[in-house]
Amino acid sequence: MIEIAGLVYDLVKDVKKYLEWKEETKLVDFKWPEYSGFSAKLAESGRTAAWARPERVERLIHEGCEIAFEIDKAKRIRRRIILKDGLVLMSKPKG
């Protein structure tokens, strides 16, 4: 019985590790959202992109904005988009 419990634990632990997403930071220039098509993808989902200073991120999240992530499903990585000066790309609902 103990061997089965150990086997189940190892299996669940491996599945949990597989399902976890890594988070990275992607350094871009100011016009990257436009020429990469990222802004267009946000617009399709009813959102707009805006840059925010790091100290404002938590307040903006509280007001309904979200940090915009570039998602790589194959590698299970989500990348936070930032500028060299620290501005963070946020998304907010249109309107």
* Segments in 20-78 forming alpha helices (H): 32-36, 38-44, 57-62
Size (the chain), residues: 95
Query: Does residue 2 have a pLDDT over 80?
Result: no
Residues in contact with 37: Cβ distance below 8 Å, sequence separation at least 6, in sequence order: none
pLDDT of residue 20: 81
User: Is residue 88 a contact partner of residue 56, using CB atoms and an 8 Å limit?
Assistant: no
pLDDT tens sequence across 65-92: 999 999 998 888 999 999 999 999 999 9
Distance from C-alpha of 86 to C-alpha of 56, rounded to nearest angstrom: 11
pLDDT tens sequence across 35-68: 999 999 999 999 999 999 999 999 999 999 999 9
**21 pLDDT tier (thresholds 50, 70, 90):** confident
Distance from C-alpha of 24 to C-alpha of 26, rounded to nearest angstrom: 7
User: Is residue 90 a contact partner of residue 51, using CB atoms and an 8 Å limit?
Assistant: yes
